[in-house]
Structure 1
Amino acid sequence: MGTVQHKSNTGKLIARAIVVIIGGFIAAYGLEAVLIPNSVSDGGVTGISIVGSQLFGLPLGVLIALLNIPFIFLGYKQIGKTFAILSILGIASLSVGTSLMHHIPTIIHGDTLLVTVVGGIILGFGMGLALRNGGALDGIDMLAVLLSRKLPFGTSDLILFLNVFVFIIVSTVFGLKGAILSGIAYFIASKVITIVEEGLSGSKTYKIITKDPDTMTETIRDRLGRSATYDEVYGGYSKEKFIEITCVINRLEDSKMKEIIRDVDPAAFVTVYETAEVKGGNFRKRNIH
Structure 2
Amino acid sequence: MKFEKLKPILKTTAPIMLGTAVYAFALLYFIIPNQLMEGGVTGITILLNYGFGIPVFLTTLLLNLPLFLLGWKMLGSSQIVYTGVGIGSLSFFLWLFERLISHGWIAPFQTEHDFILASLYAGVTLGLGLGIVFRFGGTTGGVDIVARILSRKFGWSMGQIILVTDVIIIGSSLLYIPKEKILYTLVAVFIASRVIDFIQEGAYAAKAFMIISDHGEEIADLITRDMERGVTLIPSIGAYSKMSKYTAYCVVSRQEIRRLNQLVRSVDPRAFVIISDVHDVHGEGFREE
Q: If the TM-score is normalised by the length of the shorter chain, which range does it land in?
A: 0.5 to 0.7
CA distance in 1, matches of 2:153, 2:10: 35
For the pair 1:192 / 2:195, whether they are aligned, the reply is yes
Equivalent of 2:21 in 21, 25, 28: 25
Q: Distance in 1 between matches of 2:72 and 2:198?
A: 26
Q: Match for 1:105: what amino acid?
A: A
Matched-pair identity in %: 30
* Structure 1 residue ranges without an equivalent (≥5): 200-234, 237-272, 274-289
Matched position secondary structure for 1:101: helix
The corresponding residue for 2:55 is 59
Deviation of 1:62 (Å): 0.3
Q: Which residue in the other structure is 2:243 paired with?
A: none
Q: Which runs of 5+ in 2 are unaligned?
A: 203-233, 236-277, 279-289
* 1:136 and 2:139 matched: yes
Determine whether 1:182 maps to 2:185: yes
Q: Match for 1:162: what amino acid? A: T
SS for the counterpart of 2:124 is helix
Asked if structure 2 preserves the Cα contact closer than 8 Å seen for 1:73 and 1:84, the reply is no
2:111 to 103, 106, 109: 109
Alpha-carbon distance between aligned partners in 2 of 1:22 and 1:124, rounded to the nearest angstrom = 13
Question: How far 1:149 sits from its partner (Å)?
Answer: 3.5
SS at match of 2:107: coil
Deviation at 1:184, TM superposition (A): 2.5
- Write the letter of the residue equivalent to 1:129: I
Q: 2:125 aligns with which of 122, 126, 140?
A: 122
Cα displacement string for residues 28-83 of structure 1 (whole angstroms, at most 9, x for unaligned residues): 11111111101112111001001012212211100011111132234434554244
Equivalent residue of 1:106, what SS?
coil
Runs of 4+ in 1 over 6 A off after TM superposition: none
Question: Contact 1:46–1:138 at 8 Å: present in 2 too?
Answer: no
Post-superposition CA distance 1:56-112 (Å, at most 9, x none): 221110001111113223443455424433222222222222222221312352422
Q: Does 1:46 align with 2:42?
A: yes
Q: 1:162 maps to what in 2?
A: 165
Higher mean alpha-carbon deviation, 165-174 vs 7-16, is at 7-16
Q: Against the structure 1 CA distance between its residues 48 and 114, is the aligned structure 2 distance closer, same or farther, given a 3 Å change threshold?
A: same
Q: Secondary structure of the residue that 2:201 maps to in structure 1?
A: coil
How far off its partner does 1:123 sit?
0.9
Counterparts of 1:176 and 1:78, CA distance in 2 = 38
Is 1:127–1:193's contact at 8 Å kept on the other side of the alignment? yes
Q: Structure 1 residues 52, 108: CA separation in 2 closer, same or farther (over 3 Å shift)?
A: closer
**Counterpart pick for 1:94 among 90, 95, 100:** 90
TM-score by length of 1: 0.62
Aligned CA distance change for structure 1 residues 79 and 121 (closer, same or farther; 3 Å): farther
The 2-side partners of 1:94 and 1:166 are apart by: 20
Deviation at residue 147 of structure 1 after TM alignment: 2.1
* Distance change (3 Å), C-alpha of 1:72 and 1:172: same
Aligned length: 199
Verify: 1:68 aligned to 2:64, yes or no. yes
Q: With structure 2 as the length reference, what TM-score do the two structures score? A: 0.62
* CA distance in structure 1 between the partners assigned to 2:191 and 2:5 by the alignment: 34
Cα distance change on mapping 1:152 and 1:21 into 2, 3 Å: closer
1:180 is displaced (CA, Å) by: 2.5
**What residue in structure 1 maps to residue 174 of structure 2?**
171
Deviations, residues 188-224 of structure 1 (Å, cap 9, x unaligned): 212211221239xxxxxxxxxxxxxxxxxxxxxxxxx
- Residue of structure 2 equivalent to 1:85: 81
Larger Rg: 2
Judged with a 3 Å threshold, the aligned counterparts in structure 2 of structure 1 residues 124 and 74 are, in CA distance, closer, same or farther, namely: farther
